[in-house]
Structure 1
Amino acid sequence: AAGAGGCTPCADFFFSAKDGATACEACPANHLSGPTAWAFETPRMRSDGRLSDLVGGAVNRSGCIENVTTWMFIPDPPVVFQRVLTMQDAYIVAATFIVTFVFLYRVGATHWKNQQLLLKYAGGDTFYETMLPEDEDADRRGMDPRMEKHDVLQISEAIKGGNLEDAEMVIERILERDPDQPETLHAQAVVHLIYGEMDKARPLVERAIKHNAKPQFMVTLGLINARSPWETEEQRLDNLRRATQDFELATRKDLTLAVAHMNLGVVRMALNDLELAKVSLKVALDKEPEYYKALYNIALVHARMGKRSEAKRYLKESIKVKHRALDAQFNLGMLFLREGDVDEAEQCFMKCLVINTRHSPSLCKMGNVQMLRGKPKRAVEKYLLALESDPDNVEAISNIGVVEWAKRHAVEAEQHFLLALKFKPDYYP
């Protein structure tokens, strides 16, 4: 600013507001001017050393700059760690390598000592089979005594599923190791029973009962006795009486064993003891209300007793339990047919043919339905389909003879009647 004697610089904290001004003005509050303003340029100092316009003006007192404190973080230079490898490190690596090599050599030498003769004399396949790890998926059922209970359970499942060859393989393995294992002896007896080999099944189940008289074993013995071949009526009745004793013993040993009560009812029905048969079958149903075989057989008992309504009720219940029950559907159709309900009977026989399109008895009964409706041509078609499935179906052969007789074809009718008697001499429809 210009004074009386000439221009003099403004003092600190003052500045010349305009060029050529003759007076200095004070900086606003919290602002400064003069050399102290250098501090605000230090971080941003240009490469040529020239101050920024704002800081330079404040230093030269041609302006002011705000007096604020600014903090700035300046990181330390990075520290680089370096380690020089020494001979000690080389010794450690060498020692580790030597120990690993010695260990692998010892393992390999021991294995070679055990297998060198096999490699020298055996064939290639044998060598590789021995050297390779054992196949964990190999079939070892029946070979490990510790897994015997599991193996016996698997045998039972295989028999239920109809895989009898698989069951027999495991049975043979167990009996080779333990000839008197009762559950396995019983399982083998069941397999022979399914195949109809009663002479082989009987001694096996008797041996099983000798070691462990389980009620299930008694049931199997009863089935063997009931299904054993016979030549005279007295032999048949003796077989059924022995079977009755076996089933009764099984029910005494286990009152809750529904299968024993059911089979006892079936045998009593075969002996024509229908009242006791009904009692046994009802007990079986008390133990297992949805037991199909008990429902089916008690229906047959009521049918033989002339109680058709009860028979139909039990047959319908059995069909609810087992929807594809061919026997139950067929016998229900027979009951409807005997009552003259042709439409309901036809529906039952049609359901049988849905289950098994080649069911010869159902085809034959469908032919009978067509005869009742006065359609002999369609009836003969059904009879021929029945004979295609079962050439020995004497009812179909005889009924074709009836149709021929109705057409006044006496010779053809006689031929069919004689053919039916050839297959079944005591046939009397």
Structure 2
Amino acid sequence: MKKNNIVLFVLLFLLINLNLFADSRLEEGIREYNRSNYTAAIDYLTDVLVDDEDNFSAHYYLGLSYLKINEFELAKNSLGIARRLSPGHYKVYLNLGRTHYNLKEYQEALDVLNRAEELERTDAQIYNVKGLVYMDLGDYEKAIDNFKKAVDLNPANYYVLNNLGYLYILNNRFEEARDVLEKAVNLNPPVAYIYNNLAISHENLGDYEKARQFYRQALEVDPGYAKAKINLERIKDL
């Protein structure tokens, strides 16, 4: 009896330590992901799944890591498993939507994004990604509607504001583009193409002085940004 108790104690001790080891690897994987060290994150998270193949967090963060390094098929596989393990987690559907979008699987993207929207209606990124999908499909009105929803939910996101402004430019709605892109620029984004897009809207409205100003600002953010250089050269004497 005493011998059996010792064996059980040893087994319990080993099991506890294995679980602690797995937890530490998962924590390290998530930590490396948050540090943008995606290759290191993948190594840790893959290691977790060797011993715990149904670990939701490991599959989810593995999918996010693959998405960040543009390994979209691998991301789709990992996020698909995460969806099976936790079908009520809206961010799984959102990031699957991003993955399908990058793979140009537009109907699949809309399917999972609509499911994300059913689960959570206040995340601006759901509508932003839906807007990108509809923009690629050429359905500009639906794209604009979704970008507007995203802006309403998060008016301080300059990427979303830029997407809406850029779409207005594509539709020759330059005054609306200018108004939206001015809001984006007022947030001081470190993103050259946002200033370039605002300059384009001013140029098409005939305000060449403002256009030159924002082309120059684009080049201050990124001195090597070729589009702004070309655009500025084209209107420098106008």
Which deviates the most, 387-396 or 256-265? 387-396
Q: Which of 151, 155, 160 is the equivalent residue of 1:357?
A: 155
Q: Distance in 1 between matches of 2:63 and 2:93?
A: 11
Cα offset, 1:294, TM superposition: 1.9
Q: Distance in 2 between matches of 1:356 and 1:363?
A: 9
C-alpha offsets along residues 246-303 of structure 1, whole Å, 9 cap, x if unaligned?
1112223323321111111122233433222221111111111122222122222212
Count of matched residue pairs: 212
Give 1:299's aligned residue: 97
Q: Distance in 2 between matches of 1:392 and 1:228?
A: 20
Contact 1:386 / 1:393 at 8 angstroms: preserved in 2?
Answer: no
Structure 1 unmatched runs, 5+: 1-208, 230-238
Residues 1:318 and 2:116 are matched in the alignment = yes
Contact 1:384 / 1:396 at 8 angstroms: preserved in 2?
Answer: no
Give 2:77's aligned residue: 279
Q: Which of 194, 202, 213 is the equivalent residue of 1:404?
A: 202
Between the aligned residues of both structures, percent identity stands at 22
1:340–1:287 CA distance, 2 compared to 1 (3 A): same
Q: Secondary structure at the match of 1:284?
A: helix
Q: Distance in 2 between matches of 1:278 and 1:370?
A: 31
Residues 1:413 and 2:220 are matched in the alignment = no
Q: Distance in 1 between matches of 2:110 and 2:224?
A: 30
Give 1:348's aligned residue: 146
1:242–1:362 CA distance, 2 compared to 1 (3 A): closer
Map 1:352-391 to 2 at 5 A. 352-391=150-189
Give 1:222's aligned residue: 29
RCO comparison, higher one (Cα < 8 Å, 6+): 2
1:253–1:339 CA distance, 2 compared to 1 (3 A): same
TM-score (norm: length of structure 2): 0.76
Cα offset, 1:419, TM superposition: 0.9
Contact 2:199 / 2:215 at 8 angstroms: preserved in 1?
Answer: yes
Give the letter aligned to residue 213 of structure 1.
L
Give 1:264's aligned residue: 62
Q: Distance in 2 between matches of 1:240 and 1:364?
A: 27
Residues 1:213 and 2:41 are matched in the alignment = no
Q: Secondary structure at the match of 2:186?
A: helix
C-alpha offsets along residues 136-172 of structure 1, whole Å, 9 cap, x if unaligned?
xxxxxxxxxxxxxxxxxxxxxxxxxxxxxxxxxxxxx
Q: Secondary structure at the match of 2:92?
A: helix
Q: Secondary structure at the match of 1:389?
A: coil
Q: Distance in 1 between matches of 2:160 and 2:199?
A: 19
Residues 1:248 and 2:55 are matched in the alignment = no
C-alpha offsets along residues 200-223 of structure 1, whole Å, 9 cap, x if unaligned?
xxxxxxxxx989634333222012
What's the RMSD between the two structures over aligned residues?
Answer: 2.7
Contact 1:420 / 1:427 at 8 angstroms: preserved in 2?
Answer: yes
Contact 1:387 / 1:393 at 8 angstroms: preserved in 2?
Answer: no
Which deviates the most, 258-267 or 400-409? 400-409
Cα offset, 1:393, TM superposition: 5.0
Give the letter aligned to residue 222 of structure 1.
G
1:361–1:228 CA distance, 2 compared to 1 (3 A): closer
Give the letter aligned to residue 215 of structure 1.
A
Q: Secondary structure at the match of 1:213?
A: helix
Give the letter aligned to residue 119 of structure 2.
V
Give the letter aligned to residue 277 of structure 1.
A
TM-score (norm: length of structure 1): 0.45
Contact 1:329 / 1:352 at 8 angstroms: preserved in 2?
Answer: yes
Give 2:5's aligned residue: none
Q: Distance in 2 between matches of 1:241 and 1:387?
A: 33
Q: Distance in 2 between matches of 1:373 and 1:241?
A: 40
Give 2:222's aligned residue: 424
Q: Which of 94, 113, 135 is the equivalent residue of 1:337?
A: 135
Give the letter aligned to residue 422 of structure 1.
E
Cα offset, 1:405, TM superposition: 2.9
Give the letter aligned to residue 314 of structure 1.
V
Q: Distance in 2 between matches of 1:390 and 1:319?
A: 30
Contact 1:360 / 1:393 at 8 angstroms: preserved in 2?
Answer: no
Give 1:74's aligned residue: none
Give the letter aligned to residue 305 of structure 1.
L
C-alpha offsets along residues 381-429 of structure 1, whole Å, 9 cap, x if unaligned?
1111222234545333212211233345555433321211211345467
Q: Distance in 2 between matches of 1:387 and 1:316?
A: 31
Contact 2:174 / 2:205 at 8 angstroms: preserved in 1?
Answer: no
Q: Distance in 2 between matches of 1:359 and 1:407?
A: 25
Cα offset, 1:344, TM superposition: 0.7
Identify, as 1 or 2, the structure richer in helix: 2
Give the letter aligned to residue 290 of structure 1.
G
1:393–1:250 CA distance, 2 compared to 1 (3 A): same
Give the letter aligned to residue 344 of structure 1.
K
Q: Secondary structure at the match of 1:357?
A: coil
Q: Distance in 1 between matches of 2:90 and 2:99?
A: 14
1:427–1:304 CA distance, 2 compared to 1 (3 A): farther
